Amino acid sequence: MRCLVMVLFVSLALAGNLYASEKEHAAPAELNQCIGAGPQAPRDIDSLTGSNPVIFEAAPAIKDMNLCNIHFHRNAEHKSAEYSTFVEDGSNSGWACKEPAAGRLSEKHAEHNGCSGIAEGDTIEVHWVHTTCDINTHGVKPLGGGLNACMTTMCPNPQLRVVAQVFVLEKNGELKFSESPIVHNDPTVVYTGSTTGTTWNNHHCSPLQVTWDVKKTCDTLDIDDFSKWCSTNKYKDNHAHGVRELVTPESLLSKIGK
């Protein structure tokens, strides 16, 4: 009996140590909640790794969807080899194709021809957001501005696809801005993720499911042409948006197919 008691005591001690060890190495509760929210964005698109268990079907091609919003971020939210210069820029901290112009970050407010938050030499990431909701039929009313423009009362949970391209704003830049994603032959990365922006981070994750199509290279965009669109577009999106921190835990990322 004494031996049995001793064995039981040792077993309980080992179990307690194992539980303590597991508890010590367990993911924080907020990270676990993020894992359940599904794969997140933005990410380093040169890395294909990811282990998030939530899988959802990719959205249709953009030709079969409706463009519902266009907006942009100062500094890229995604990271790739061609835009991998980190810029410490407050809520706009993100990735650049090259170092910003001297003194750029010391400016409390920048505005170019009615477009707030941009200056020559800035890197921007433009998002063309597409939805499976019918937002074009006469009488159909989207829920509001921004992402709400991609949803209606009859279609509150659409499939979403975002085409993202990264540019440097320059005088007489090579490209003019377009309401459609700019046609190119450069490589892109397609992956499943979420919405972005400063509302979300690695402990407070977006529950919305988004198919991303991100161009890996930088182009120069004519700043005067872009600011004209920025200050007059129908989406009333006349300013640079903040940048969500790069999502790095593999448990919050989807695996990218080769």
pLDDT at residue 90 is higher than 60: yes
When comparing pLDDT for 36 and 104, which is higher?
36
Of 50 and 103, more confident: 50
pLDDT of 72 reads 97
Q: What is the pLDDT of residue 145?
A: 86
Please tell me the pTM assigned to this model: 0.86
According to the model, what pLDDT value does residue 258 have?
77
Kindly report, residue by residue over 115-127, the tens digit of the pLDDT.
999 999 999 999 9
Indicate if the pLDDT at residue 7 is higher than 70: no
Write the DSSP string, 210-252. Answer: EEEEEEEEEEEEEHHHHHHHHHH-TT---BPBP-PPPP--GGG
* Percentage of residues in the chain having pLDDT higher than 90: 76
Q: Tokens 């279609």 sit at which residue?
A: 155
Residue-wise pLDDT tens digits, 32-54: 679 999 999 999 999 999 999 99
Note the pLDDT of residue 29: 57
Mean pLDDT (the chain, rounded):
87
For residue 7, give Cα distances in angstroms to 12, 21, 71, 243: 9, 21, 66, 57
Domain ranges (residues) in the chain? 1-29, 38-252
Instruction: List the one residue out of 208, 65, 210 whose CA is nearest residue 133.
Output: 65
